[in-house]
């Protein structure tokens, strides 16, 4: 049986064009291109090493092709938060930064921390995530252009107005694509029906939640809250008892749940009552909203686990 010293850990620094690979059993860094040929070479190089973990930074989707290719060849992949890698590099006193150094730091991080293996989404889920991510980009660009309307004179405004019209048309087309995708999948149709049944979760919110947190219904409440970054973190030292705060997790899902909570506070009787109870006990509004986000998430988790739609009778344990 291999001990920890014998296990191989691989770090991959991902860029738009290249993949720099460092294995703990080798003292050099190998570069592969982000092409079909390069990805095939990557698998051929890594597979014989039989690594315990191949770690990649989350780099806005640039890591997806490599991660999917490795996972499809039964190679354990962990996609890690770049902040963790930066903090680890600082802790080891590594100040220099090159692609080769980054790959080595990622490999050493994997060896020291042993991050959890990341489940790679299937093609259907990957397609849904891509649609939802693109929709978020269009909405962001629309907001930027609308804000510019009042800041520019008349001539540039013509260009801005034209671009806004195009973005709105693209957004409508994308919404139609998402709707057709959901209708074509009986599994997602049922999941959307369950999630959307909760007041405060509209169609886009429901789709986004399923895309960004596919573990819904598969984990217990504590783990699902940690995954979303909604678990209060202690900040105590000696006799000092600091304020709890949330940190880490999936920022995109927190943004979605925040908007959902603002709606639920008005229109969902359970969440509204919960929010008002927290406010009456002197909780700050931001803390109360975060607690509502957490309650919405654990409620949706219970609904997904039991395959039941929302009702006035609470279906989850307290947040």
Q: Is 57 within 8 Å of 10 (Cβ atoms)?
A: no
pLDDT at residue 314 greater than cutoff 60: no
Q: In the structure, what pLDDT confidence band is assigned to residue 119 with cuts at 50, 70 and 90?
A: confident
DSSP per-residue codes, 63-84: THHHHHHHHHTT--EEEE-HHH
Other CB atoms within 10 Å distance of the CB of residue 304 = 21
pLDDT in tens, 161-186: 899 999 999 999 999 999 999 999 88
pLDDT in tens, 24-54: 988 889 999 999 999 999 999 999 999 999 9
pTM of the model: 0.70
Q: Is 55 helix (H, G, I), strand (E, B) or coil?
A: strand
pLDDT in tens, 188-213: 899 999 999 999 999 999 999 999 88
pLDDT in tens, 140-153: 999 999 988 877 76
pLDDT in tens, 83-117: 889 999 999 898 888 999 999 999 999 999 999 88
């Amino acid at each position: 049986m291999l001990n920890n010293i014998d296990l191989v850990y691989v770090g991959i620094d991902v860029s738009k064009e290249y993949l720099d690979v460092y294995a703990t059993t080798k003292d050099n860094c190998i570069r592969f291109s982000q092409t079909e040929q390069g990805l095939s070479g990557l698998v051929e190089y890594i597979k014989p090493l039989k690594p315990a973990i191949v770690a990649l930074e989350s780099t806005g989707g640039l890591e997806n092709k490599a991660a999917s290719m490795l996972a499809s060849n039964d190679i354990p992949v962990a996609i890690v938060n770049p902040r963790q890698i930066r903090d680890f590099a600082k802790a080891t006193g590594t100040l220099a930064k090159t692609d080769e150094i980054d790959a080595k730091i990622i490999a050493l991080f994997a060896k020291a921390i042993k991050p959890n293996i990341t489940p790679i989404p299937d093609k259907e889920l990957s397609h849904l995530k891509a649609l939802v991510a693109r929709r978020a980009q269009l909405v962001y660009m629309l907001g930027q252009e609308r804000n510019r309307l009042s800041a520019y004179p008349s001539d540039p405004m013509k260009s801005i107005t034209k671009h806004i019209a195009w973005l709105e048309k693209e957004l409508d087309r994308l919404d139609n694509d998402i709707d057709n995708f959901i209708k074509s999948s009986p599994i997602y149709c049922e999941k959307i029906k369950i999630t959307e049944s909760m007041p405060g979760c509209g169609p886009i919110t429901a789709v986004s939640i399923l895309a960004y947190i596919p573990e819904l219904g598969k984990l217990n409440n504590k783990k699902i809250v940690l995954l979303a970054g909604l678990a209060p973190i202690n900040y105590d030292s000696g006799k000092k008892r600091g304020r709890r705060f949330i940190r880490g997790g999936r920022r995109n899902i927190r943004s979605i749940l925040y908007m959902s909570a603002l709606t639920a506070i008005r229109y969902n009787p359970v969440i509204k009552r919960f929010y008002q109870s927290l406010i009456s006990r002197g909780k700050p509004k931001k803390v109360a909203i975060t607690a509502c986000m957490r309650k919405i998430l654990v409620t949706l988790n219970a609904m997904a686990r039991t395959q039941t739609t929302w009702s006035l009778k609470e279906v989850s344990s307290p947040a």
